Structure 1
């Protein structure tokens, strides 16, 4: 039971960024059609499946105990790194913005995925957004496979949850408009990853 509880929490932690992106889109009235939402889900699932396949290959060369320690450590590192990015002082976006990786830019400022400024996320833009949202999931996928989670089941769950969170986030953003009550939720995914990492190591 604890094993599947850990899997469920991992899926939520990895997918929760999509909720924040959805809220941003809802508040800015950017439309994400269902075909774009499906593409985002597929990107997340495929990238996680790839990451977990790599993790499974790596874990076949090391003992289960060492694999658990490495897997847990990866989750802790990802959580700490995400936490650092949230709490670090925000610098003015001047010359640094032009040097920023486009995937990172989409995560920090989600409306940048709308490249043509049409107010609608197209199929090509959905691939960009899906890849950006799956960046954290790649590292977590490697760690999760070393902890013994099923690659196919985990990829399917993350794909489903990422689409669900983006959809729910859009609806929430439309309702809340300029309300900033959900900003505190940005701390939840990294804290979950850190807790899961320690839980699996101990």
Structure 2
């Protein structure tokens, strides 16, 4: 039971960024068609499956105990790195923005994915957004495979939850104004990843 509880929280932690993105889109009235939502889901699922396949291959060369430690450490590192990116002061000047990784910029300012400023996310823009949302998913998938989670099940659950969170976020964003309470939710995914990593190592 604890094994599947850990899987549940891992899926939530990896997919929760999509909820914040969805809220931002909802509040700014940026439309995300079902085709774009499906593209986002496919991106997350494929990247997680690829990462877990790599992790499974690597784990076959090391002992289960070492694989478990490495997997947990990866989750902790991802959580700390995400936490650092949230806490560190945001640079306002243009030179810093130009040097920023574009996929990371999409997550911090989601409307940047709407390249043509049409107010609607097209299929190729959804591919960009899906890749941005899957950045954390790759590392988490690598760690999850070393912890013994099934690649196909994990990839499917993350793909499904990514789409569901974006969809629900959009609906909530339409009726909610921007509040400090919503901003605090950005701390939840990294803290979940850190907790999961520690739990699996211990």
TM-score (structure 2 length as normaliser): 0.98
Alignment match, 1:62: 62
Query: Do the aligned residues in 2 keep the contact of 1:26 with 1:177 (CA within 8 Å)?
Result: no
Alignment match, 1:135: 135
**Structure 1, unpaired ranges of 5+:** none
Give deviations 1:103-160, integer Å, cap 9, x for gaps.
Answer: 1111111000000000000000000000000000000000000000000000000000
User: 137-146 vs 89-98, which deviates more?
Assistant: 89-98
Give deviations 1:75-104, integer Å, cap 9, x for gaps.
Answer: 000000000111111221421111222111
Aligned pairs for 1:165-176 within 5 A: 165-176=165-176
Alignment match, 2:11: 11
How many residues are treated as equivalent by the alignment?
A: 202
Query: Do the aligned residues in 1 keep the contact of 2:47 with 2:137 (CA within 8 Å)?
Result: yes
Aligned pairs for 1:28-39 within 5 A: 28-39=28-39
Aligned pairs for 1:90-105 within 5 A: 90-105=90-105
TM-score (structure 1 length as normaliser): 0.98
Structure 1 moving runs of 4+ over 2 Å: 177-181
DSSP 3-state at the match of 2:170: helix
Query: Do the aligned residues in 2 keep the contact of 1:44 with 1:158 (CA within 8 Å)?
Result: yes
Aligned pairs for 1:19-168 within 5 A: 19-168=19-168
**Aligned-residue RMSD, C-alpha:** 0.7
User: 131-140 vs 94-103, which deviates more?
Assistant: 94-103
Q: Distance in 2 between matches of 1:100 and 1:84?
A: 15
